[in-house]
């Protein structure tokens, strides 16, 4: 059931997810939450397959920031939960969000488990969770959630092609530290396995360091895309 006092809208950016969108959306039917899928120009049947399983299916320009902002504008919830289309919520997700926000926090994220064959993926997840707790910076894989008032106060996701999750985290940290939930979402390891786990780790470290040193996110997105298709 929905967390008392917090109506939740789940905003899902999607692109060419026909192979898995129905299985991804089906468990969300048990939650008392608004479900909004925002398609970024899929060339497959993502939109038609999602329609029976979502409250709204929207179209927006390609790019997670633009898609998630569009979903947020169309939503009605007091709390926005941004969920990637390859990430599964724990059964207690809404209750965990309620408890996290009850601590006086404006936003937060879940710990993450990365599903896949590589023995390195649990190590990647461990350091992702630990780094996030230390720095107060969250990634999209961790299913970020935020009070609508705080999201609107910082202007939503910035209109950048990459690192939109880190940029939003930085802005929200000025309002409060995040609620770092021990409950775990499970995200697909396909991005790491498609590009190579070690190669992907090194690439993301490089891109994040460059971003923190002031590199243009649009240039970083071109480097990211040049090394393989986005997952």
Residue pLDDT, tens place only, 115-155: 988 888 999 899 989 999 999 999 999 999 999 999 999 99
In this structure, are residues 132 and 165 in contact, taking their beta carbons and an 8 Å threshold? no
Q: Does 3 map to a domain?
A: no
Q: Does 105 map to a domain?
A: yes
Q: Does 117 map to a domain?
A: yes
DSSP string, 63-100: SHHHHHHHHHHH---SEEEE--TTEEPPTTHHHHHHHH
Range of the domain at 185: 8-226
Q: Does 1 map to a domain?
A: no
Kindly report the pTM of this predicted structure.
Answer: 0.85
Report the chain's terminal Cα–Cα distance, integer Å. Answer: 31
Within 13 A of 129's CA, how many CA atoms are on the CB side?
Answer: 19
* The total number of structural domains that make up the chain: 1
- State residue 3's pLDDT score: 40
Q: Does 175 map to a domain?
A: yes
| Complete edge-to-edge strand list for the sheet that includes strand 8-14 | 56-59, 34-39, 8-14, 79-82, 145-147, 107-115, 179-188, 87-88
Any idea what the CATH number is for the domain that residue 66 is in?
3.90.550.10
Phi-psi region of 41 (alpha: psi -120 to 50; beta: other; left: phi over 0): left
Residue pLDDT, tens place only, 59-91: 999 999 999 999 999 999 999 999 999 999 999
In this structure, are residues 112 and 199 in contact, taking their beta carbons and an 8 Å threshold? no
Residue at token pair 């599903």: 115
Contacts of 86 (CB under 8 A, 6+ apart): 17, 20, 24, 187, 188, 190, 231
Q: Does 231 map to a domain?
A: no
């Amino acid at each position: 059931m929905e967390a008392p006092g917090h109506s939740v809208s789940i905003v899902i950016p999607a692109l060419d997810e026909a192979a898995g969108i129905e299985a991804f959306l089906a468990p969300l039917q048990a939650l008392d939450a608004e479900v909004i899928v925002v398609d970024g120009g899929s060339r497959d049947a993502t939109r038609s397959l999602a329609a029976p399983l979502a409250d709204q299916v929207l179209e927006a320009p390609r790019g997670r920031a633009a898609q998630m902002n569009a979903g947020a504008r169309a939503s009605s919830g007091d709390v926005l939960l941004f969920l990637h289309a390859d990430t599964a919520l724990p059964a207690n997700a809404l209750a965990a969000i309620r408890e996290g926000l009850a601590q006086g926090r404006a936003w937060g994220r879940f710990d993450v488990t990365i599903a896949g064959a590589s023995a390195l993926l649990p190590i990647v997840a461990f350091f992702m969770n630990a780094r996030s707790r230390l720095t107060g910076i969250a990634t999209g894989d961790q299913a970020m959630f935020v009070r609508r008032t705080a999201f609107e106060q910082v202007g939503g996701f910035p209109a950048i092609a990459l690192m939109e999750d880190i940029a939003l985290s930085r802005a929200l940290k000025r309002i409060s530290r995040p609620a770092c939930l021990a409950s775990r979402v499970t995200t697909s390891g396909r991005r790491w396995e498609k590009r190579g786990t070690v190669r992907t780790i090194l690439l993301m470290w490089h891109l994040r360091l460059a971003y923190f040193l002031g590199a243009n996110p649009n240039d970083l997105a071109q480097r990211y895309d040049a090394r393989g298709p986005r997952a």
